[in-house]
Amino acid sequence: MLMEAISFKKALEITINNIQPLPTDYITIERLVGRVAAEDIFSLVDSPSHDVSLKDGYAVKFEDIEMASEESPVYLRLKGSLMAGSSARMEIIQGHAVKIMSGAVIPHGTEAVISNEFASDDGVSVRVVNNAMPGQNILPSGTDTKKDELIVEKGARLRPTQVGLIAAAGHSSLKAYITPRVTIIATGDEVLAVGMPFQKGKVFASNLITISAWCSFYGMQSNTVIVKDEGDAIKDV
């Protein structure tokens, strides 16, 4: 018995009315790409937590190096050095500089970082041959994320850059919807599975493969089935 045909609009309406949100689960950050966030995500920390250096170089006062040039270098007293990850705290005073690595916390009182291209030291003093504007080569605290800031909205499909931001915000896992599983059915006596020997009057199930590919593209697991144009066969699937 033939079923009454319905319009695409009606078919879409029936489909949407029968869709319900999938269950959720806590997913580790390594597996989040392509998943859909099931809740708003807020930053747990400021990132970076302190002002940090963007370059290997020297933390300085702006007024000390404002007039520095190749023709008229400025010499500053080397006060010490700071590596990335160091917990040491230093303070810059006029006439002094601190050697600093990229990612290291900026010493208190620093107004700029002059990069290694324009400065060098002999272990006692620092020779500077260019200036650096206030704030130059300094990444302020909270530039990437600020504590309690909304960084991802519920319903967002997570891209690699967002996953990195979530990690910077202090999360190791979050609630996401489980991956949808889809069965795609192609009907018709003329439809051949891809890879089968070609027969005259038949067509390969290219639409089936196209829809399956779109499902994979959007992170869904799909299964494909070809059945005859018979009501009972379709119901059995």
Q: Give the mean model confidence (pLDDT) for residues 47-76.
A: 95
Q: Kindly list the domain boundaries of the chain, sorted by start residue.
A: 52-139, 180-237
| Domain at 180-237, CATH from 3.30.2420.10, 3.40.980.10, 3.10.450.50, 3.40.50.620 | 3.40.980.10
pTM, to two decimals: 0.69
**Residues in the chain, total:** 237
**pLDDT per position as a tens digit, 208-218:** 999 999 999 88
Query: Residue 16, class by beta-carbon neighbours within 10 Å (0-12 exposed, 13-18 middle, 19+ buried)?
Result: exposed
CATH architecture, domain 52-139:
Beta Complex (2.170)
The tens digit of pLDDT for each residue in 188-210 reads: 878 888 888 888 888 888 899 99
Residue 222 and residue 215 in contact, taking contact as beta carbons nearer than 8 Å: yes
Q: Are 204 and 194 in contact (CB under 8 A)?
A: yes
Alpha-helical runs (H) found in 66-205: 160-168
Alpha helices by DSSP H, listed for 8-88, are 8-17, 62-65
pLDDT digits (tens, 9 = 90+) for 141-174: 999 999 999 999 999 999 999 999 999 999 999 9
